[in-house]
């Protein structure tokens, strides 16, 4: 294990917000002013209110550094829409398959276009962002099934007009990190398996008694434990034990996975999920790097303009992948 941290169990729990985190939190509060807490609305209402707001924000943050096109993948389970990012048209580059966050319930690729543009530029790769089906309309494991199909297709066929050369990576944030790890587990030992994974502040367990939930889960730090209860309810409520195992990945058989870069946000109720996963990867003999984004809230890659630490994280990812 390498990175800019000690073992996750040694990470401190600062009582005060950093100036950058405070500014980011104020901006997020202003952006979502008037929105009710998730616990007060159903999933369909939350999708109607949150998705357009997040998409509009993402479009304002684009720098115009990548060509972005919308395309479709013809998959066995039905057509999947994707967003394709190319910051170096005609130049062969590795492929990063991005799986967005949103608690398996909210958001779409257009809410993460600015993030994918950053990844394409900072990691020197093509990016394809998946519009997988969301819960509750598609509960666990249907989103994971669709992501696995998409990765299989892209590994076999690529994307017309996109100059792909070298390794394929898969990654995402929050629930997207969960789906990325689930995809790697499904494809372990398969020719379609990506060559590495990048997991930003992932959710890997439904245990909300961890110290990070106790310290950061009361709603003061953007994401709350109550929010995570709401997401888990809509994603896994009523599913079989077998399906739940496709979401609760902390106890999965991790041996044989490709290298993984794990990034945790410091002021995040999900923070302890990441070092817990790192501990299990260490035991399983999987190459990995554990990285802390200091002073950062959950969702910080969406608000990277507030965090120079996110730039440093991308630099660390680039070193790890190459």
State the residue for tokens 């990012």.
Answer: 85
Strand pairing category for 67-75 and 78-86: antiparallel
Whether 174 is catalytic is yes
Separation between Cα atoms, residue 51 and residue 198, nearest integer Å: 24
Q: Is 137 left (phi over 0), alpha (psi -120 to 50) or beta?
A: alpha
CA dist 10 to 166, 179, 205, 246, Å?
37, 27, 20, 29
- DSSP letter (8 states) at residue 296: E
Q: Which of 113, 246, 268, 272 is catalytic?
A: 268
Q: Which residues contact 161 (CB under 8 A, 6 or more apart)?
A: none
Q: Which of 83, 100, 291, 298 is catalytic?
A: 298
Beta strands in 139-242 (DSSP E): 164-173, 196-200
- The pair of structure tokens assigned to 55 is 């998409």
What angle, rounded to 10 degrees, do the helices at 113-123 and 43-61 form?
Answer: 50
Specify whether the CB–CB gap between 182 and 249 falls below 8 A: yes
Whether 42 is catalytic is no
**DSSP element (H, E) containing 59:** helix 43-61
Rg (CA), the chain: 18
Measuring CA to CA, which residue among 137, 143, 167, 142 is closest to residue 155? 167
Separation between Cα atoms, residue 116 and residue 129, nearest integer Å: 7
Separation between Cα atoms, residue 213 and residue 169, nearest integer Å: 30
Q: Which of 54, 174, 193, 212 is catalytic?
A: 174
Burial class (CB in 10 A: 0-12, 13-18, 19+), 53: middle
Cα torsion at 286, 292, 297, 301 (round to 10°)? -70
Whether 288 is catalytic is no
Active-site residue numbers?
174, 268, 298
């Amino acid at each position: 294990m390498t990175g800019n941290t000690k073992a996750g169990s040694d990470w401190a729990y600062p009582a005060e917000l950093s100036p950058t985190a405070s500014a980011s939190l104020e901006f997020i509060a202003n952006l979502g002013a008037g929105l009710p807490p998730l616990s007060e609305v159903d999933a369909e209402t939350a999708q109607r209110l949150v998705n357009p707001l997040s998409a509009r924000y993402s479009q304002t943050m684009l720098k115009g550094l990548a060509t972005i096109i919308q395309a479709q993948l013809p998959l066995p389970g039905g057509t999947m829409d994707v967003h394709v990012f190319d910051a170096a048209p005609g130049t062969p580059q590795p492929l990063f398959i991005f799986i967005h966050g949103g608690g398996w319930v909210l958001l779409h690729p257009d809410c993460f276009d600015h993030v994918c543009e950053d990844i394409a530029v900072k990691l020197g790769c093509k990016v394809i962002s998946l519009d997988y089906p969301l819960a509750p309309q598609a509960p666990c494991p249907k989103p994971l099934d669709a992501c696995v199909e998409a990765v299989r297709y892209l590994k076999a066929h690529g994307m017309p007009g996109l100059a792909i050369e070298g390794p394929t990576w898969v990654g995402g944030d929050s629930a997207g990190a969960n789906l990325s790890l689930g995809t790697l587990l499904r494809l372990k030992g398969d020719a379609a398996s990506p060559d590495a994974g990048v997991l930003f502040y992932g959710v890997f367990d439904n245990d909300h008694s961890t110290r990070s939930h106790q310290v950061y889960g009361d709603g003061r730090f953007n994401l709350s434990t109550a929010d995570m209860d709401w997401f888990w309810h809509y994603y896994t409520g009523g599913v079989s034990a077998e399906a739940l195992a496709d979401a609760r990945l902390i106890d999965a058989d991790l041996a044989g996975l490709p290298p993984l870069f794990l990034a945790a946000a410091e002021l995040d109720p999900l923070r302890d999920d990441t070092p817990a996963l790192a501990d299990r990867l260490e035991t399983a003999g999987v190459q990995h790097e554990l990285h802390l984004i200091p002073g950062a809230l959950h969702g910080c890659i969406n608000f990277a303009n507030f965090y120079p630490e996110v730039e440093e994280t991308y630099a660390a990812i680039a070193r790890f992948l190459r």
